[in-house]
Amino acid sequence: MLNLSKMKSIGADLSRRRDLNINELIIRTLLSFESRAEEKGLGVEIQLPEQHMTVVADPDAITQVLYNLLDNSVKFATPGSCLCISLCKEGGKAYVSIKNTGDTISEEDLPLIFDRFHKSDRSRSLDREGVGLGLYLVKTILDAHNEDISVTSRDGVTDFVFSLTLAK
Ligand SMILES: Nc1ncnc2c1ncn2[C@@H]1O[C@H](COP(=O)(O)OP(=O)(O)OP(=O)(O)O)[C@@H](O)[C@H]1O
Ligand SMILES: [Mg+2]
């Protein structure tokens, strides 16, 4: 049985936050999708700065954020297309972008996808396993970290970008 109140506490425990090499965490999480990406014939482009970035965050919670976003991008990507994962720095923040080519999320669906159990009608029929909690959890964790996430979806290219705070 899913326990939503327990899920809500993920990422909210300040004592779990530490300095974290985000380059390494991205690579490590990405590696866990290697075989699924290969099965779908997906190319993976990774744009990471040579010098690693250190952010302050709960490692397990941010692993969950990366996992859920990568899970979606692999699941909703057109077979044979390319995923693009990139990391950049702006102001005091690091920004992680996870981009794939597949179905465009409609303008009506876009504001709702972070809601609990929301799935587009199409994904409801294509993917019967997912229950629509992945992005809700992503948003809950990032809210608890006071970080932002934004999404754009145009001409089949869907791009999720979230912020993290750089260590001093
Ligand atoms: N990269 C993407 N491309 C296209 N649609 C997406 C993408 N990511 C999310 N969506 C849409 O947003 C909905 C909600 O995503 P979410 O991750 O919360 O649920 P899910 O993947 O369907 O199920 P779960 O994550 O619980 O397995 C999806 O069902 C899909 O309609
Ligand atoms: Mg999902």
Tens-place pLDDT, residues 45-61: 999 999 999 999 999 99
Q: What are phi and psi of 13, to 5 degrees?
A: -85, 105
Tens-place pLDDT, residues 122-145: 777 667 677 788 999 999 999 999
Residue in this structure with the two tokens 């029929």, named with its chain if needed: 125
Verify whether ligand 1 is closer than 6 Å to residue 20 (CB atom). no
Q: Which residue positions in the chain have pLDDT lower than 50?
A: none
Q: What's the pLDDT score for residue 2?
A: 60
Q: What's the pLDDT score for residue 118?
A: 76
C-alpha–C-alpha distance, residues 80 and 139, integer Å: 29
Calculate the average pLDDT of the chain.
Answer: 92
C-alpha–C-alpha distance, residues 108 and 97, integer Å: 22
Nearest ligand 1 atom to the CA of 103 is: 4
Verify whether ligand 1 is closer than 6 Å to residue 113 (CB atom). yes
Could you say which DSSP state residue 80 is in? T
Domains of the chain by residue range: 17-165
Verify whether ligand 1 is closer than 6 Å to residue 100 (CB atom). yes
CB atoms within 10 A of CB 150: 11
CB atoms within 10 A of CB 22: 22
Give the ligand whose atoms come closest to the C-alpha of residue 102: 1
For ligand 1, pick from 67, 113, 124, 128 the residue to mutate: most ligand atoms within 8 Å of CB.
113
Residue whose C-alpha is closest to residue 52's, from 164, 141, 160: 164
Assigned token pair, 160 = 């999720």
d(CA 96, ligand 1 centre) in Å: 18
C-alpha–C-alpha distance, residues 20 and 58, integer Å: 8
Q: Which CATH architecture has domain 17-165?
A: 2-Layer Sandwich (3.30)
C-alpha–C-alpha distance, residues 135 and 159, integer Å: 13
